[in-house]
Homo-oligomer: A and B are copies of this chain.
Amino acid sequence: MDLAADAAALTAVWHDRMPLTTALGVEIGTLDGERLELLLPLAPNVNHKGTVFAGSLSALATLAGWSALWLVLREAHEQAHVVIQDARIHYKVPARGDVTARVALPAGAAREKWLGALGKKGRARLGLEVEVVDAAGEVVATFEGRYVAHR
């Protein structure tokens, strides 16, 4: 695993081919092989109340889940695409500053089952949970997304 190369490749896709990621100001905070954390600054995402626009939180969580699966596919040398089918998001408290989205990289049996189904059927679903926290570690939003990989 070359995490630095993975992170560089992921941010290249964002910045070269997904212009909204630049507008959001999103960056990789942590990528340690177990989890991915994305940082979102308040300033470009502020709303009229001085908190983070809910649509930015939703876009951040959507991107975090997609990025986690993109990283798993890259590590597995699997040439599949990932799309999101469904998502739910719950906004708990307003985010008054920069936030971080956290997602566990699929591992162990869940990862093997997903990659196995993709190999056999050319298509496989996976649900992911993403938590968005503020600088004090308080959870501001929880997100569940159902993603589909297909060859």
Contact = CB atoms under 8 A, between A and B. Distances in A.
Contacts of A89: 58, 86-87
A56 interface: yes
Contacts of A137: none
A44 B62 contact: no
Given A20-B56, A56-B59, A62-B54, A85 B91 contact: yes
B58 A18 contact: no
A85 B141 CA distance: 9
A84 B88 contact: no
Contacts of A46: 17-19
Interface in A51-96: 53-56, 58-60, 62-63, 66, 81, 83-91, 94
